[in-house]
Amino acid sequence: MALLNPGFEQALTGWDSDGASTPAARSGSLALLHAEGRRNTTQTATGLTKGWYTLKAWVRFDGEPAEAWLQLSDGATSAQARVPLVRDNWLHVVVSAEVTTGRCTLGLGSDLPGGTSVSFDDIELIPGRAALTIRGADISSLKKSEDLGGRYRDADGAPADALTILTDHGLNYARLRVWVDSPDRYHGVAQLLEMARRITARGLKLLVDFHYADSWADPGKQPKPRAWADLGFEDLKRAVFDHTDEVCRLLLDQGTPPDMIQIGNEVTNGLLWPDGRNAQGFAALAALLAEGCRAVRARSPETRVMLHIDNGGNNALYRWWFDSILAQGVDFDLIGASYYPYWHGTLADLQSNLDDLAERYGRDIVVVETSYAFTADDCDGYPNVISTEAVAGYRFTPEGQARILSDVASIVRAVPHGRGLGVLWWDATWIPVPGNGWDPADPTAGNNWENQALFDFEGYPLPALRVLGRA
């Protein structure tokens, strides 16, 4: 929609503002500047047809990031999006609202301490809605947690089914990992089938995460299953196909078709080492991935196929990896990224990467793993993976956890062309329960992730769960 002076090239003409113009622009020669205190800049668009509209703006903090937001209101309804807490980088922020009155007011707001300013530039108002269609969680630990005494509570403190709590909070996707021959009987095909029935009965969609291992597979380790250890490469390809096909068949036969499947988990450095390691080239890895993709296409053609790597803020890595895979002709639908804020770069890095991937490859993208701590405390005497604050502005509190999730979702929502489909929280239900630890072969091992669940140590839902359901 046509706005007056959307890039502030005529200073504040067309805007009602207590801000100022600044030459520190993203494009052109001028931008809007808000300095210390609470400030607001607005413009009202009229003559709008009924429907959804999206306000887009580029925003930059200089100095310590604080509170800034975009707001869109038609007088009857209003929506707001906060600016992620990133300094010295332009971020693309969007917010959508339904317009029913023929007019809406665009708001650019801030509340800043001394020494901090925020700039706004390149404002757009366009028809349509920017929203996440995937709001989900990995719940692979849930069955074992329940069996060993884990209990979950609703917001009022009453005992409740964890899946009911998730759906009541607005989640619509669940992710389950599957191992070939799990040492603890969990995370295998039988549990996958049982949990798939529960998930679909709750109205959740299902994402299956094939590890092609008997235990954890990630960038630092991709071990072959014991049963496949002595297979030659052609037989290894057949094993990937057969295993993928069998799991798909069993899910279909029980009426729980997978909506999405990952062929491998964080396969940045390959899978089924050493055969599928990609340090010296992608031909072998691509051949193995292709067998998994082919099995899904043949058995469950409606299922979308994802390839997933880690380090979601590293654009050079993603270009290298996906350029190489596409050069080998691997057939897939979705790009999956892990983004852990304490390991994988800033939110600006994440946005730069996801935006580039959307433009470069024309594929939809899911941040399929993310998490953050709600406390630095340890509940079970087993050291946590993350125990000291790693990201400035986001404290290890329930509120800090909720804020960083909100900001990750904001980054994904702003991916061009609606290619950012959604966000899944990693192992949201992994609360501290004796026996449900990190090492599936050692029942005495503790849980080093319990301070990053979406439930507190007593099984109460945390504020981030509500944020995810509304993202």
Q: What is the pLDDT along the chain (471 residues), one digit of tens a residue?
A: 689 999 999 999 999 999 999 999 999 999 999 999 999 999 999 999 999 999 999 999 999 999 999 999 998 889 999 999 999 999 999 999 999 999 999 999 999 999 999 999 999 999 999 999 999 999 999 999 999 999 999 989 999 999 999 999 999 999 999 999 999 999 999 999 999 999 999 999 999 999 999 999 999 999 999 999 999 999 999 999 999 999 999 999 999 999 999 999 999 999 999 999 999 999 999 999 999 999 999 999 999 999 999 999 999 999 999 999 999 999 999 999 999 999 999 999 999 999 999 999 999 999 999 999 999 999 999 999 998 877 999 999 999 999 999 999 999 999 999 999 999 999 999 999 999 999 999 999 999 999 999 999 999 999 999 999 999
In this structure, are residues 417 and 356 in contact, taking their beta carbons and an 8 Å threshold? no
Instruction: Locate 146 and state its tokens.
Output: 């329940």
Its sign, for the CA torsion 207, 211, 212, 216, is: negative
Distance CA 197, CA 371 (A): 26
In this structure, are residues 469 and 170 in contact, taking their beta carbons and an 8 Å threshold? yes
How big is the chain by its Cα radius of gyration, in Å?
Answer: 23
Distance CA 398, CA 199 (A): 26
Domains within the chain, CATH numbers bracketed: 16-127 (2.60.120.260), 134-470 (3.20.20.80)
Q: What is the pLDDT of residue 76?
A: 87
Q: What is the pLDDT of residue 155?
A: 86
In 3D space, the residue among 465, 453, 385, 466 whose CA is nearest the CA of residue 145 turns out to be: 453
409 alpha carbon, distance to own chain's centre: 7
Distance CA 20, CA 39 (A): 10
pTM of the full structure: 0.97
Q: What is the pLDDT of residue 431?
A: 97
Extended strands (E) in 63-145: 67-73, 78-82, 91-99, 103-112, 117-127, 134-138
In this structure, are residues 468 and 137 in contact, taking their beta carbons and an 8 Å threshold? yes
Active site residues: 266, 369
Q: What is the pLDDT of residue 390?
A: 75
